[in-house]
Structure 1
Amino acid sequence: MIHAIIKDRPTRLFIILAGFFVANAIIAEIIGVKIFSLEETLGFPKADFKLLGTDHLSFNLSVGVLPWPVIFVMTDIVNEYYGVKGVRFLTLLTTALISFAFIVFYFAIKAAPDTSFWLGSYTNDGVPDMQAAYRAIFGQGMNIIIGSLTAFIIGQLIDAFVFRGIKKLTGEKAIWARATLSTVVSQFIDSIVVTYVAFHLFRGVPVGRTMAWAFTAYAYKFIIAIAFTPLVYIIHWGAEKYLGKSTAMEMKKQALTGV
């Protein structure tokens, strides 16, 4: 029986999509504690503007947004073939796995460090206390997990329902419309919620700076969502070839009706 399940193509496709989905979500959570300068990364002069009472802002954002568009592409493909129920299951599973990862991080931080070698092993590289560095990176990630997971759940469910609503209107046509518009809407909610909760509520960052980060992150996600539209078509085409036309059509029909 187990071999039949593993050989089942719809099941294998779901596992593949879920693997990329979960991996990118956890990677984004771990690396997201770093704020980087978009202008300096691209070699442009830093901007200087004012927003909501905060002066001297520039286009900075969390590196956690970099792998995030992949998650929304996977969401759209899962929604296409497995429906809102598939997205909901994957969202809750990923939330549980992210929570588990941060529980592991917590105990890893609390474990007593090796003072004979590891603690000062990177002193020559400018890191005199590896335990402090370890705590600063993984501990900071733990401080923002509530905002991150809240935004993740809300964003994913909104993406799924917007995608399904557009597909009911367009049918099998206009893949770009349901993929792009659902992502654009959900990413806006995700960017605002995660940045406001994680940095303003929990870390006291001024709301102007917080919203500047959120809008910059959203602008990046918006541009990538448009740029990734051909990728959605490519993955869609590959899924159709892998599943077979009749199986793919039946799956999409059941995904839309929720049966």
Structure 2
Amino acid sequence: MSTGDSAAPRAVSAADIAGRPLRYFDFVMAAFVAILLLSNVLGAGKVAVIDLPFVGLWPFGAGILFFPVSYVIGDVLTEVYGYARARRVIWAGFAALLFMAFMSWVVVALPPAPEWGNQAAYETIFGQVPRIVFASMIAFWAGEFVNSYVLARMKLVTGGRHLWARTIGSTIAGQAVDSLIFYPAAFLFAEGWTTGLVLQVLVTQWALKVGWEALLTPVTYLVVGWLKREEGLDVFDEATDFTPFRTGV
């Protein structure tokens, strides 16, 4: 078992539990989708600042504080429940993002009542640039699947050992794909964005997200260990079809 618990859960192939209901899977999926949506709604629109020693004031997107938690939960899903169930959750998150973008567009576009004076503020918060929305959704989809695939493959190679290496290694790969897609697609050649600035923000955000994942490793160990004990299973993707274009478990 990855957490080193003496009462190890039973190691099973993902195919052995295909279609089987599991006790906490739905709750983990709900947490993933909720954090994904909230980090995009509440965090994406604000640029915060932190005073770093020897550096000074450093701006950052507020969403970075919570969006990486979705990657942590993605790691937990793959490690505990296997790639197929993580794949199903990624598609659920993608569909939720798509609906959120559509709902935001419709609500912002509705003519406001004459006595309601908050339309400008509403547009500032919820009005989304289509290019950025598209880039965000594609980057999320690709990055999460790379993250899940790398973790599942590393689990087979390591025989379920060294959870920290799998979570950090998969995040390095997944966040790299996410950042390499999102920042160029969203900001390259946009007004006020030079190529150098896009690359600087890309590398900075990638490093911060990976660092955040590393800091949360003890939490990941606790959650993974508890869920494996409660479910009584340790899932290995020995005969899994790793295509991302399915939703069955």
- Tell me the TM-score normalised to structure 2 length: 0.80
- Residue segments in structure 2 that go unaligned for 5+ positions in a row: 1-18, 242-249
Distance 1:102 1:12, change over 3 A: farther
Structure 1 residues 113-159: Cα deviation after superposition (integer angstroms, max 9, x where no partner): 2322x30xxxxxxxxxx212211221135541111011101101111
2:46 alignment counterpart: 34
With CA pairs under 8 Å and 6+ residues apart, which has the higher RCO, 1 or 2? 2
Q: Would you say the 8 A contact 2:75–2:167 is kept in 1?
A: yes
> Structure 1: how far apart are the matches of 2:100 and 2:189?
23
Instruction: Say whether residues 1:15 and 2:10 are aligned partners.
Output: no
2:108 alignment counterpart: 109
Distance 1:10 1:176, change over 3 A: farther
The alignment yields a C-alpha RMSD, in angstroms, of: 2.4
Q: Shift of residue 103 of structure 1?
A: 0.8
Counterpart residue type for residue 31 of structure 2: F
> Structure 2: how far apart are the matches of 1:203 and 1:95?
28
Question: Which 4+ runs in 1 deviate beyond 4 A?
Answer: 42-45, 201-204
Distance 1:200 1:36, change over 3 A: farther
* Structure of greater Rg: 1
Q: Would you say the 8 A contact 2:105–2:128 is kept in 1?
A: no
Match for residue 258 of structure 1 among 234, 240, 246: 240
Counterpart residue type for residue 48 of structure 2: F
1:225 alignment counterpart: 213
Q: Would you say the 8 A contact 1:61–1:214 is kept in 2?
A: no
Distance 1:203 1:192, change over 3 A: farther
Q: Would you say the 8 A contact 1:10–1:243 is kept in 2?
A: no
Counterpart residue type for residue 224 of structure 2: H
Q: Would you say the 8 A contact 1:168–1:256 is kept in 2?
A: yes
1:127 alignment counterpart: none
Q: Would you say the 8 A contact 1:60–1:213 is kept in 2?
A: no
User: Secondary structure of 1:60's match?
Assistant: strand
> Structure 2: how far apart are the matches of 1:181 and 1:218?
13
Instruction: Say whether residues 1:177 and 2:156 are aligned partners.
Output: no
Q: Shift of residue 202 of structure 1?
A: 5.8
Q: Would you say the 8 A contact 1:160–1:182 is kept in 2?
A: yes
Q: Would you say the 8 A contact 1:77–1:236 is kept in 2?
A: yes
- Residue segments in structure 1 that go unaligned for 5+ positions in a row: 1-7, 48-58, 120-129
Counterpart residue type for residue 47 of structure 2: I
Match for residue 46 of structure 1 among 27, 47, 56: 56
Paired residues for 1:1-259 under 5 Å: 11-30=22-41, 31-39=43-51, 46=56, 59-116=58-115, 118-119=116-117, 130-140=118-128, 142-200=130-188, 205-244=193-232, 248-249=233-234, 252-253=235-236, 255-258=237-240
> Structure 2: how far apart are the matches of 1:207 and 1:60?
18
Q: Would you say the 8 A contact 2:143–2:178 is kept in 1?
A: yes
Indicate the percent of aligned positions where both proteins have the same amino acid.
27
Q: Would you say the 8 A contact 1:32–1:141 is kept in 2?
A: no
Distance 1:152 1:72, change over 3 A: same
Distance 1:218 1:152, change over 3 A: same
| Pairs aligned (count) | 222
